[in-house]
A and B are shown apart, each in its own frame.
Chain A
Amino acid sequence: MQLKTPANALRLGLMAATCALLSPPTTHAADAPEDDGPWQVDAGLLYYKENEGRVRTIEPVVNVRRNLGDDHIVGFNFAFDSLSGGSPNGAIAAKSKIQTFATPSGSSLTPGSGPQTYVSPSGNTYTTLAKVTLYTIQPGALPLDPNFHDRRISFDANWSQPVSTNVKGTVGGHISDELDFDSLAVNGALSRDFNAKNSTVSFGMNAELDKIKAIGGTPVGGSDYAQLLKTGSKSKHVIGGLLGLTQVISREWVAQLNYSYDRSQGYLTDPYKILSIVDSTGNLMAVSSSTAASPYRFENRPGTRTRQSLYVGNKVALGLQTLDVSYRRGKDDWSVKSDTVDVRLRVPISNDWYIEPHVRWYRQTAAEFYHLYLDQVDAIPQFMSADPRLAGFTATTIGFKVGVDLGGNNELSLRLEQYQQKASERFSSLLNLQGLDLNPSLKSAIVQIGWKMEY
């Protein structure tokens, strides 16, 4: 181990500076542009797997970046994402009944051998007999849609350059394509340095336009699951702003404070999520005793969402170790409040190797329209969702990353983490739901291999 700064570090620095000054020894007749930097390539392969046969994903990601000279920096990010496995559809487990659900497997608008599509009087709603794959869920089991699969290709590009003394401008764009979702986004930011670059204030804007083209048609929010009221594609957009301050506190400590605000508008409902309706005993509502065609409803979320967050990040040098601590407070007008604490400590264990333990703790409150299930005796609410992601829960991530410097700015790393969600509302006092875990914990493993290189 030779991690100590050499005693003559100053001289080594001086030799390097002298070298830069005196080479090349030719005349400085013409002003050559500042040399390009190398391409910095950051490649990663993520494997993510949830417990109980739930979602599994493999995602290769490549991030390349280059300083083209004079701090004109161009960057690209490419990711391919392949998802499969079972995803909770929002319905709850039933104590003694086998539940049957349908996964749409083709567009309802695809011409088939017979009439598959009927236009309702409203003119833009279809009652479809879409091609579906049925799946059954055994009593006591959480309904997971086993046919869930998707793939996603996303591409980001960004450019940053100085625009005047102390001011830097950044513009970027994002485009991604999924089987059932397209997204296009642009962003721009300006940042300015103050106090001999000890403070940086930045302001950024982001606009995103998404198209939801759910397989089998996009359901009408809140409609009966069996009636399959679907429309064509839907859209949503997001406009956001971010105000940031980066401050060097001391020789060992740099901090960042961000306030962000964004507003989404459009179809914010998850097209595949439903809710169960139960009677006073906890059994699924009997269809014969009501006007409903099924004891399930498609979820329905409000058409707008306003989110804010305050983020404080810190990097602290503790000798040769590096501590990264951040806290985020989030709030939205769906009454989801969240707190996130993230701590990483990078510990060099030899000249080339380092290990970085990581702990993350997250807590959110439930959205005001979140329900584990709907009660038959109550009126069907306008907005409702049983999506576990809108439930109140705490989540913890524990893991570590190890990396080795291969020389020549090449680094290989491995990250192993475990993520676990524990919902705050999981049980019901209704007779036939007693003893059933209605929102079981999610547990997943994250394995990531990373390779940084330059050429």
Chain B
Amino acid sequence: MLNARTALMIFLVASLGTLQGCSTLGVKPWQRDLLARKDMALDANPLDAAIDDHLYFSKEAASGGKGFGGGGCGCN
């Protein structure tokens, strides 16, 4: 079950974990060759993402999640 408090807790624990574990997670600057690829960007296709957000917003009850996606439409 996901309620606001547990979700926030999961989030904070995950955040703290990564912030403290910086010595193990992450890469050196010269290891960013793959991450620097255009298709490795988390928002590599903003247009597709916007179209999908809009489409699924108008067909399903859930929306967003990745960002503030899909709102501003009378279609739902």
Report if A and B touch in the complex (beta carbons < 8 A): yes
Quick check: A178 and B74 within 8 Å, CB to CB? yes
Minimal beta-carbon separation of B26 from chain A (angstroms): 3
Quick check: A198 and B74 within 8 Å, CB to CB? no
How many residues of chain B have a CB within 8 Å of chain A? 51
Quick check: B15 and A448 within 8 Å, CB to CB? no
Docked complex: B37-64 residues within 8 A CB-CB of A: 37, 39-42, 44, 46-48, 50-51, 54-56, 59-62, 64
Q: Which residues of A contact B29 (CB under 8 A)?
A: 196
Quick check: B60 and A389 within 8 Å, CB to CB? yes
A59 within 8 A of partner (CB) = yes
Docked complex: B8-49 residues within 8 A CB-CB of A: 8, 10-11, 14-15, 18-19, 22, 25-29, 31-35, 37, 39-42, 44, 46-48
A102 within 8 A of partner (CB) = no
Also in contact, A308 and B7, with CB within 8 A (given A61-B50, A254-B40, A336-B61)? yes
Also in contact, A199 and B67, with CB within 8 A (given A42-B47, A310-B10, A336-B62)? no
**Bound Cα distance A405, B36 (Å):** 18
Residue in contact with B26 in the complex, picked from A181, A196, A262, A326, CB distance below 8 Å: A196
Q: Which residues of B contact A331 (CB under 8 A)?
A: 2-3
**Bound Cα distance A337, B7 (Å):** 14
**Bound Cα distance A59, B54 (Å):** 11
Docked complex: A295-322 residues within 8 A CB-CB of B: 307-311, 313, 315, 317, 322
Quick check: A260 and B64 within 8 Å, CB to CB? yes
Also in contact, A176 and B72, with CB within 8 A (given A199-B22, A246-B42)? yes
Q: Which residues of A contact B48 (CB under 8 A)?
A: 44, 401, 415, 448, 450
Also in contact, A317 and B37, with CB within 8 A (given A242-B68, A248-B25, A257-B11)? yes
Quick check: A42 and B46 within 8 Å, CB to CB? yes
Which of the segments A28-36, A205-213, A276-284 contacts the partner chain?
Answer: A205-213
Quick check: A310 and B62 within 8 Å, CB to CB? no
A409-443: CB near B (< 8 Å → 1, else 0) gives: 00000010001010000000000000000000010
A107 within 8 A of partner (CB) = no
A11-28: CB near B (< 8 Å → 1, else 0) gives: 000000000000000000
Minimal beta-carbon separation of B72 from chain A (angstroms): 4
**Bound Cα distance A260, B67 (Å):** 8
Quick check: A395 and B59 within 8 Å, CB to CB? yes
Interface bin, chain A: 35 or more
Q: Which residues of A contact B67 (CB under 8 A)?
A: 204, 242, 258
Quick check: B37 and A322 within 8 Å, CB to CB? yes
Which chain B residue has the least Cβ–Cβ distance from A178? Answer: B74
Which chain B residue has the least Cβ–Cβ distance from A179? Answer: B74
Quick check: A251 and B4 within 8 Å, CB to CB? no
Secondary structure of the A contact surface, majority rule: strand
Minimal beta-carbon separation of B57 from chain A (angstroms): 10
A371 within 8 A of partner (CB) = no
Quick check: A261 and B4 within 8 Å, CB to CB? yes
Quick check: B71 and A208 within 8 Å, CB to CB? yes
Also in contact, A309 and B27, with CB within 8 A (given A212-B74, A251-B35, A448-B51)? no
Minimal beta-carbon separation of B12 from chain A (angstroms): 9
**Bound Cα distance A31, B67 (Å):** 37
Q: Which residues of B contact A232 (CB under 8 A)?
A: none
Minimal beta-carbon separation of A270 from chain B (angstroms): 8
Which chain B residue has the least Cβ–Cβ distance from A176? Answer: B72
Minimal beta-carbon separation of A295 from chain B (angstroms): 26
Quick check: B60 and A183 within 8 Å, CB to CB? no
Minimal beta-carbon separation of B49 from chain A (angstroms): 10
**Bound Cα distance A308, B32 (Å):** 33
**Bound Cα distance A208, B64 (Å):** 14
**Bound Cα distance A300, B42 (Å):** 39
Minimal beta-carbon separation of B30 from chain A (angstroms): 10
Q: Which residues of A contact B74 (CB under 8 A)?
A: 150, 152, 178, 180-181, 183, 210, 212
**Bound Cα distance A194, B19 (Å):** 8
**Subset of 7 A-B contacts with CB under 8 Å:** A208-B72, A240-B64, A248-B25, A258-B66, A329-B2, A362-B56, A367-B61
- Interface residues, chain A, with chain B CB atoms under 8 Å away: 42-44, 46, 48, 59, 61, 63, 77, 79, 81, 83, 150, 152, 154, 174, 176, 178, 180-181, 183, 185, 187, 194-196, 198-199, 201, 204, 206, 208, 210, 212, 238, 240, 242-243, 245-252, 254, 256-262, 270, 307-311, 313, 315, 317, 322, 324, 326, 328-332, 334, 336-338, 340, 346, 362, 364, 367, 389-390, 395, 401, 415, 419, 421, 442, 446, 448, 450
* Additional 8 contacts, C-beta under 8 A, given A259-B8, A362-B62: A61-B51, A150-B75, A195-B19, A195-B26, A250-B27, A251-B35, A258-B65, A313-B42
9 pairs of A and B residues whose beta carbons are closest in the complex: A181-B74, A198-B26, A311-B65, A183-B72, A338-B62, A330-B62, A195-B22, A317-B34, A328-B65
